[in-house]
Amino acid sequence: MSAPAVEVTRPRVCPLCEATCGLAITTRGREVVAIRGDEDDVFSHGYLCPKATAVKHLDADPDRLRRPMIRRGSEWTEVTWEEAYAEVARRLPPIAAAHGRNAVAVYLGNPSAHHLTLQLYPRVLLRALGTPNVFSASTVDQMPKHVSAGLMFGTPLTIPVPDLDRTDFLLILGANPIVSNGSLMTAPDVRGKLRAIRERGGTIVVVDPKRTETAQVADQHIAIRPGSDALLLAALAHVLIAENLVRLGRLAEHTAGVDAVAAVVRDFAPETVASACGVAPEIIRTLARALARAERAAVYGRIGTCTQEFGTLASWLVDVLNVLTGNLDRAGGAMFTKAPAGAANTHGTPGRGKGFHTGRRHSRVRQAPEVLGEFPAACLAEEIETPGAGQIRALIAIAGNPVLSTPNGERLSGALASLDFMLSFDIYLNETSRHAHVILPGLSPLEQPHYDIALRQLAVRNVATYSPALFAPPADQHPEWESLLVIAGIALGQPPTADVAALDDFVVRQQIESILKTGDSPLAGRTADDVLAALAPRRGPERLLDLLLRTGPYGDWFGSRPGGLSLATLEANPHGLDLGPLEPRIPEVLRTPTGKIELAPEAILADVPRLRRALERPRAPFMLIGRRQLRSNNSWLHNVETMVRGRERCTLQVHPDDAARLGLHDGGSAEVRSRVGALRAPVEVTDAMMPGVVSLPHGWGHDLPGVRQQVAVRHAGVNTNLLADEAAIDPLSGNAVLCGIPVEIAPAGA
C-alpha cells in the first residue's frame, strides 16, 4: 500500500489572461487541492481574479481531450498518436502535392499568446508548409496596433504601455481592464493600480460607449459613438496644436513628421467631429487641455479602438498624442518594456533597423494585403469557398475557435465543413474542431512549462518568471511541441515516424544560426556547436527559452556576461525575477530605417481621407458592440461549471429609452439582424449603455451539433459573430470590424 500523498504548494504563473498573476497551487498527488494568489510573486503580490480557479477545473475536466481523435463521417474514434499521425500523413501531403502549397492554410488562435510551446513551435510548422495562407486571431484583435507601432517605431511589438505605477493621468479608450485584466498592458491587479492613481491625486478618463466597470472607477466617463475614436483623437491632437500645447521635450530630436501630423489634424476641429462622435466640443477641448497639463500622462487604447473601421488610424493617434504631449518614453507616460526574451527591439543594431512593411502579398479573392505574414481572418471563408488556383482545401487550426470568434461564423462553419482535410490542435471538441478530421490534443496547462514570451514584452514592469510543469504529462500523451514537429516533418515529406529529437535539434540550431547572424550578436565568437553543447541536456521549449533568455538583454551571453540571466536563474527564483521599473529607451528601442519615431507614416496618412468621409455619412439607428465578462475567456472557459453558473450572461444590453422605443423589456427576447445574419438574444435593460448602442459578449453559441462540452452546451448563449460582417475590415491591418456593426432590432416574434 502506498503512503497517502502529501500536500505541496508551488508557485505558477496563471496562463489565462495577459495579467500573468502568480498562483500558489496546492496539490496532493495528481490532484489540485487549492489555488490562491502567490503572495511572494514579484509582480502580482498575491493578486488573482475569480478566473484563476478555473485552471483546476480545466485540468480535471473530463471533456478535455487527452487522446488524438479521428473523425469518419460524424463518428469520432480515439486513436493512438501513431495512428493519428499516420492519418495526417495519408491525407495532408497529397493535397499540397496536387494543388500547391497555398491549398493548405493555418489558423492560429489566442491561447498561443499565453503558451510557451505555442509561442515557439507553430512557426516551425508554418515554415515547413510554406503557405501564404496564414490567418490568426490577431486580425480580430490587435493587428491595427502592430501596424501603427511597426510603422512608427520599427517593429510590430514595440508597443508603448501605460506606466500605470507612476502616471498621474490615464486616458483609456475602448478598454475595460477592470474586467479584462488588461491587454497589450501586462499588469496584475489593474483595479488596485487604478485606485492608486486616484489616491495619489491622479485622474482617470474613460472613453467608451458603455459606462463600464472601469468607467465607474474613473473620474470621468465620455460616452462615444462606436467607431469614432479616430475622429475624437484627431480632434484632441488638433486642439494641442491649435492651442500651442505641444511639448515634445527630449523626443523632439528623435521625431520626424510632426508638421505632417499638424497638417492632417487641421481638418478635425472638435466642432467638426462632435456630432459624429456624440461628444460635445467643449468636452474634447477640456480633455485636450487636461492631457497637456498633466505632469505625467498616458493615453491607452484597446479592443474598442482596434476592432473597428478605423482601427489603425485610432491606434496610431493614441501614440501621436503620447508623443505630442512629451509623454512617450518617460516615467509615468507610455513606455517601452525591455523584455528578457524574444523581443525584436532588443536585437540587432540598437536605434535603427529595416522598419516594418506590409502588403508583400495579397489575398487571392479580396486582394487584402498581407500583414505580419497573415491575411485577415475575415477572408478565410471566401478563400475556402472560391474555386480556382490557390483555393484553400485543407486547414490546420491551432488553439483557435474561429467559428465563434471571427466574422460570419455561420459562413465559416459551412466553409470548414467543405474542406478536403482539417487538422485541429485543440483541447476540446468544440464549434470549430468538430469540423476537423483529426484532433491532436494539447496537454493540461499544469502539465507543461510556462513562460510568457510575448506578454513580458508588454508588461508595466520588467519581469521574468518561469514555471516548470506542475505535473508530469500522462506517459501516453505527446506534448504539443512534439506533435507540431511531427506534422512539420510530414509537411516536409518525412514519414510520420521521423525522429522528433533530430527535428528539434535542427530547429534550435537554426535559431542559434539566426542569432549568430544579427548585428552586435550576443553569440559573437562562438559556434553553433558550442552553444548547442552549452544548452544540453535541455530540449524542446525549455531549450529554446534558455537560448532566448541567455542571448537577451539581461542574458549571460553564454559566459561573456557573468551573472547574466539564464533559465537556471529563473528556476532558482520561482516567484519571478523583478528587473525593475520601465526605463526610457528612445532612441535605442527604435528599428525604423531613419532611426526616428515616424510620427506620420505615409501609409497611415493615405488612409485619412477615408476618415474625413466618415464625417458625412448617415448614421445607423443601432450599432452593436461587444463586451468581456469576468468569468469568461473568449470561447473556451464555458465548460467550467463555476464560470457559467448563475444568471444568463449572454444578453443583449440595451438602454432603457431604446428598449421603450423598441418595445423590449428586461428578461424578454430580441431579434437582432445585420447585413449577414440574425439571432435571438435575451434582453438586459441597462442605462450603462449609450442610447443607440447595444452590446453582446462574444465566445458564446455552444449549441451546435457535435460539440462535446457538457457544461457549455447547457449554457450555450448565442454567437454574436453571426452578425459580424466579414466584408468589413480596417484596410491597413485587415482587422475585422467587431465594434460598431449596424443592426436592426425588434422584439422576438414580432
Ligand X SMILES: Nc1nc2c(c(=O)[nH]1)N[C@H]1C(S)=C(S)[C@@H](COP(=O)(O)OP(=O)(O)OC[C@H]3O[C@@H](n4cnc5c(=O)[nH]c(N)nc54)[C@H](O)[C@@H]3O)O[C@H]1N2
Q: Which does 494 bind (CB under 5 to 8 A by kind): ligand X, Mo ion, ligand SF4, none?
A: none
Q: Does 428 bind ligand X (CB under 6 A)?
A: yes
Q: Does 14 bind ligand SF4 (CB under 6 A)?
A: yes
Interface size with ligand X, residues (CB under 6 A): 64
CA 150 to CA 747: how far, in whole Å? 45
Quick one: cell of 240? Answer: 494641442
CA 510 to CA 493: how far, in whole Å? 19
Residue 52 vs 380, nearer CB to ligand SF4: 52
- One-character DSSP codes across 57-101: HHHH-TTS--S-EEEETTEEEE--HHHHHHHHHHHHHHHHHHH-G
Q: Applying CB under 6 A, which part among 12-20, 69-77, 119-127, 493-501 lies near ligand SF4?
A: 12-20
Using CB under 6 A, which of 724, 737, 743, 745 touches ligand X? 724
What type of residue is 295? Answer: E
Q: Does 449 bind ligand X (CB under 6 A)?
A: no
Q: Applying CB under 6 A, which part among 336-344, 422-430, 535-543, 672-680 lies near ligand X?
A: 422-430
Q: Which does 111 bind (CB under 5 to 8 A by kind): ligand SF4, Mo ion, ligand X, none?
A: ligand X
Residue 197 vs 637, nearer CB to Mo ion: 637
Alpha-carbon distances, residue 514 vs 68, 237, 346, 443, 505 (angstroms):
34, 42, 14, 30, 14
Give burial (CB, 10 Å; 0-12/13-18/19+) of 216: exposed
> ∠ CA(355), CA(358), CA(361), 5° rounding?
135
Site string (187-206) toward ligand SF4, x via CB under 6 A: -x------------------
Q: Which does 14 bind (CB under 5 to 8 A by kind): Mo ion, ligand X, ligand SF4, none?
A: ligand SF4
Q: Does 319 bind Mo ion (CB under 5 A)?
A: no
Residue 141 vs 658, nearer CB to Mo ion: 141
Q: Which does 20 bind (CB under 5 to 8 A by kind): ligand X, Mo ion, ligand SF4, none?
A: ligand SF4
Least Å from the CB of residue 305 to ligand SF4 = 21
Contact set for ligand X, span 1-30 (CB under 6 A): 17
Q: Applying CB under 5 A, which part among 139-147, 426-434, 532-540, 546-554 lies near Mo ion?
A: 139-147
- Cell 496610431 -> residue: 316
Q: Applying CB under 5 A, which part among 118-126, 133-141, 201-209, 560-568 lies near Mo ion?
A: 133-141
Look at residue 685 and give its three-state secondary structure: strand
Q: Does 308 bind ligand X (CB under 6 A)?
A: yes
Residue 621 vs 663, nearer CB to ligand X: 621
CA 373 to CA 366: how far, in whole Å? 16
Residue 558: how many CB atoms within 10 A of its CB?
Answer: 19
Residue 544 vs 679, nearer CB to ligand X: 679
- The two beta strands, 421-425 and 394-398, are parallel
Alpha-carbon distances, residue 431 vs 167, 405, 424, 518, 635 (angstroms):
43, 10, 11, 43, 9
Quick one: cell of 256? Answer: 520626424
Q: Which does 19 bind (CB under 5 to 8 A by kind): Mo ion, ligand SF4, ligand X, none?
A: ligand SF4
In sequence order, the 6+-apart residues with CB closer than 8 A to the CB of 164 are 170, 185, 187, 190, 193, 194, 197, 298, 460
Q: Does 154 bind ligand X (CB under 6 A)?
A: no
Alpha-carbon distances, residue 28 vs 8, 225, 247, 449 (angstroms):
7, 52, 59, 19
Please list the residues that pair with 22 across neighbouring strands: 13
Q: Does 442 bind ligand X (CB under 6 A)?
A: yes
Please list the residues that pair with 296 across neighbouring strands: none
Q: Which does 542 bind (CB under 5 to 8 A by kind): ligand X, ligand SF4, Mo ion, none?
A: none
Q: Does 51 bind ligand SF4 (CB under 6 A)?
A: yes
Q: Is 552 left (phi over 0), alpha (psi -120 to 50) or beta?
A: beta
* Dihedral over alpha carbons 71, 75, 78, 79 (to 10 degrees): -50
Using CB under 5 A, which of 38, 41, 61, 141 touches Mo ion? 141
Q: Does 140 bind ligand X (CB under 6 A)?
A: yes
Closest CA to 466 of 576, 366, 589: 576
Q: Which does 427 bind (CB under 5 to 8 A by kind): ligand X, ligand SF4, Mo ion, none?
A: ligand X
Closest CA to 285 of 242, 319, 223, 329: 242
Give burial (CB, 10 Å; 0-12/13-18/19+) of 420: middle
Radius of gyration of the chain (CA): 25
Site string (211-230) toward ligand X, x via CB under 6 A: -x-----------x-xx-x-
User: Is-contact 638 719, C-beta < 8 A?
Assistant: no
- Cell 521521423 -> residue: 498
Least Å from the CB of residue 541 to Mo ion = 22
Using CB under 6 A, which of 19, 582, 718, 745 touches ligand SF4? 19
Q: Does 21 bind ligand SF4 (CB under 6 A)?
A: yes
Task: Return the H-helix or E-strand segment holding 612.
Answer: helix 608-614
Residue 255 vs 639, nearer CB to ligand X: 639
Look at residue 621 and give its three-state secondary structure: coil
Residue 262 vs 712, nearer CB to ligand X: 712
CA 749 to CA 213: how far, in whole Å? 33
Site string (288-307) toward ligand X, x via CB under 6 A: --------------xxxx-x
Q: Applying CB under 6 A, which part among 75-83, 427-435, 548-556, 597-605 lies near ligand X?
A: 427-435
CA 632 to CA 700: how far, in whole Å? 10
Quick one: cell of 348? Answer: 540587432
Closest CA to 287 of 276, 275, 297: 297
Q: Does 18 bind Mo ion (CB under 5 A)?
A: no
Q: Applying CB under 6 A, which part among 16-24, 147-155, 238-246, 302-310 lies near ligand SF4?
A: 16-24
Q: Does 49 bind ligand SF4 (CB under 6 A)?
A: yes
Using CB under 6 A, which of 721, 725, 728, 732 touches ligand X? 721
Q: Does 739 bind ligand X (CB under 6 A)?
A: yes
Using CB under 6 A, which of 24, 25, 32, 48 touches ligand SF4? 48
Q: Applying CB under 6 A, which part among 11-19, 84-92, 280-288, 341-349 lies near ligand SF4?
A: 11-19
Using CB under 6 A, which of 110, 181, 363, 674 touches ligand SF4? 181
Least Å from the CB of residue 468 to ligand SF4 = 18
The site for ligand X (CB under 6 A) is made up of: 17, 51, 109-111, 115, 137, 140-141, 173-177, 179-181, 183, 207-210, 212, 224, 226-227, 229, 302-305, 307-308, 398-402, 405, 425-428, 430, 442, 625-630, 632-636, 698-699, 720-721, 724, 738-740
The site for ligand SF4 (CB under 6 A) is made up of: 14, 16-17, 19-21, 48-49, 51-52, 181, 188
The site for Mo ion (CB under 5 A) is made up of: 141
